[in-house]
């Protein structure tokens, strides 16, 4: 039986962090697409249809919150798992992230092992429980 390769999209306006995310995910066995800003994140997500998106909150132009809202409004990406990255720890920022439709919230700085564990957990939940890892009603 062939193991499925998941596609992950990483979006961040910091080129060094984006390269680290892409390298880490590729080394973890994932196919990786990248985007350097919010509009590009939307374009790549609609074209590539990733299984999971890792998205920086603070990007110029369209920020991560707006990107999540737009992706949730599109039937092609409505069920895609979205993990937001941010340096903001405030409860209000966490609440806004989940209210926008994000599935998870990871605070920078984070460890590579933590990131990979989160990604693997979400993808396994998706396999076990359907889109966005939700339990059936």
The model's pLDDT over 9-48, given as tens digits with 9 standing for 90+, comes to: 999 999 999 999 999 999 999 999 999 999 999 999 999 9
pTM: 0.89
Domain 7-129 indexed as CATH 3.10.110.10: no
64-73 and 38-48 helices cross at what angle (nearest 10)? 30
Token code pair at residue 105: 């919230």
In order of 72, 75, 77, 130, 134, the CA distances from 137 in angstroms are 20, 20, 21, 11, 9
Report the alpha-carbon distance of residue 113 to residue 68 in Å, rounded: 25
Average pLDDT score over residue span 79-89: 89
Report the alpha-carbon distance of residue 67 to residue 60 in Å, rounded: 11
Give the model's pLDDT for residue 134.
58
The model's pLDDT over 39-74, given as tens digits with 9 standing for 90+, comes to: 999 999 999 999 999 999 999 889 999 999 999 999
Q: Is the confidence at residue 78, as pLDDT, over 50?
A: yes
Provide the β-strand partners of residue 52. Answer: 8, 81
């Amino acid at each position: 039986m062939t193991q499925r390769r998941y596609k992950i999209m990483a979006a961040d306006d910091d080129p060094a962090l984006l390269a680290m995310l892409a390298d880490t995910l590729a080394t973890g066995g994932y196919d990786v697409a990248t985007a350097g800003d919010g509009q590009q994140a939307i374009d790549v997500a609609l074209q590539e249809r990733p299984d999971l998106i890792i998205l920086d909150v603070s990007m110029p132009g369209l920020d991560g919150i707006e990107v999540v809202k737009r992706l949730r409004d599109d039937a092609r990406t409505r069920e895609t798992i979205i993990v937001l990255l941010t340096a903001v720890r405030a409860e209000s920022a966490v609440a806004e992230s989940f209210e926008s439709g994000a599935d998870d919230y990871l605070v920078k700085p984070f460890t590579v092992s933590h990131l990979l564990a989160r990604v693997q957990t979400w993808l396994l939940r998706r396999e076990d429980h359907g889109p966005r890892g939700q339990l059936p009603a």
